Amino acid sequence: AQSVTQLDSQVPVFEEAPVELRCNYSSSVSVYLFWYVQYPNQGLQLLLKYLSGSTLVKGINGFEAEFNKSQTSFHLRKPSVHISDTAEYFCAVSANGGSQGNLIFGKGTKLSVKP
């Protein structure tokens, strides 16, 4: 069975500083990996996805993530954050190759950007 671990429940950072949100997964088969973002009082929004090909994936709002198969990680990064990036970020892995929509989510990381 697949599982996702987000090691940090909260990450405070100053505006314009770089940030990395960590995600590790476990799976015995090939997986698809995703990051979703949830702004206050909103639903989740897909930030980026890794399906195959290049291990460096770029998403919306300047975020990127790197798939590392040997370390079973999919960390999310942004070189310079803005106040508007304050949100909760969820890493997810697909079961059954993704087409069935069976996403397994981590517990989330709350990113708090301070001026």
Partner 1 sequence: ETGVTQTPRHLVMGMTNKKSLKCEQHLGHNAMYWYKQSAKKPLELMFVYNFKEQTENNSVPSRFSPECPNSSHLFLHLHTLQPEDSALYLCASSQGSRGYEQYFGPGTRLTVT
In the chain, what is the straight-line distance between the N-terminal and C-terminal CA atoms, in Å? 41
Maximum pairwise Cα distance, the chain: 42
Q: How far apart are CA 100 and CA 70, in angstroms?
A: 26
Our CB check for partner 1 shows the closer of 55 and 80 to be 55
Our CB check for partner 1 shows the closer of 82 and 107 to be 107
Give min distance, CB of 43 to partner 1, in A: 3
Could you list the residues that contact partner 1 (CB under 8 A)?
4, 9, 32, 34, 36, 41-46, 49, 90, 92, 94, 98-108
Give min distance, CB of 112 to partner 1, in A: 16
In the 8-state DSSP scheme, what is residue 81? -
